[in-house]
Amino acid sequence: MKCKEVEKLLSRHFDSILTSEEKDNLEIHLKSCSSCQAKRREYETILETLRKEEFPELKPYFWERLQPKLKEKFLPLTLWKQWSIRAIPISLLVILLLATALLIFLPEKKVELSQTEALLLRELNPLQEANTLLEERNIENQNMMLIFTSLEEENTERRYEP
């Protein structure tokens, strides 16, 4: 058992609310730990001093006068707590409604299709243009046509060969 646990058990021991198992564990620890024994003697001294002291009798209607003052002091705090507890679901609902409105009313991004994708979507042969270019007899014309055709499509995936 650790000394911190024993300190808690000591305060419960002086209030006489320990179980028999806790009492046994406390006594075993106190036999072996001198710092906890000193702590126990210190607590006993404090309790004896408090028991000897005579406290004045409370004035009549003390509690009746104290309670309204306590309510006045802590009223703003309790009002703030009540307001914040009610505000949480309302703010979550507002956020949910805004997110829903954004999803519904914002226009979707239109994706532009490349020439090849457009041809495939219309079920046409995308290589038909390439075939006519490759069948060109003049090599300079063929190369120029291939270059301009490749520039028309915005292909982001290009392989660069040395």
Answer yes or no: pTM beyond 0.85: no
Give the whole-angstrom CA distance, residue 27 versus residue 20.
Answer: 11
> Angle 20-32/3-14 helices, nearest 10 degrees?
130
What pLDDT does residue 150 have?
67
The length of the chain in residues reads 162
Give the whole-angstrom CA distance, residue 7 versus residue 40.
Answer: 8
What pLDDT does residue 107 have?
81
Asked whether the beta carbons of 15 and 43 are under 8 A apart, the reply is no
**Domain assignments of the chain as residue spans, ordered by start:** 3-52, 115-152
- Structure tokens belonging to residue 127: 């290589």
For the chain, residues with pLDDT lower than 50 are 162
Give the whole-angstrom CA distance, residue 112 versus residue 1.
Answer: 72
What pLDDT does residue 98 have?
95
Give 75-105 pLDDT, tens digit per residue.
666 677 777 888 888 999 999 999 999 988 8
What pLDDT does residue 112 have?
82
- Structure tokens belonging to residue 98: 């805004």
What pLDDT does residue 100 have?
93
Give the whole-angstrom CA distance, residue 89 versus residue 155.
Answer: 49
DSSP secondary structure, 96-128, as one string: HHHHHHHHHHSPPPPPPPPHHHHHHHTT--TTH
Asked whether the beta carbons of 37 and 7 are under 8 A apart, the reply is no
- Structure tokens belonging to residue 64: 């009746």
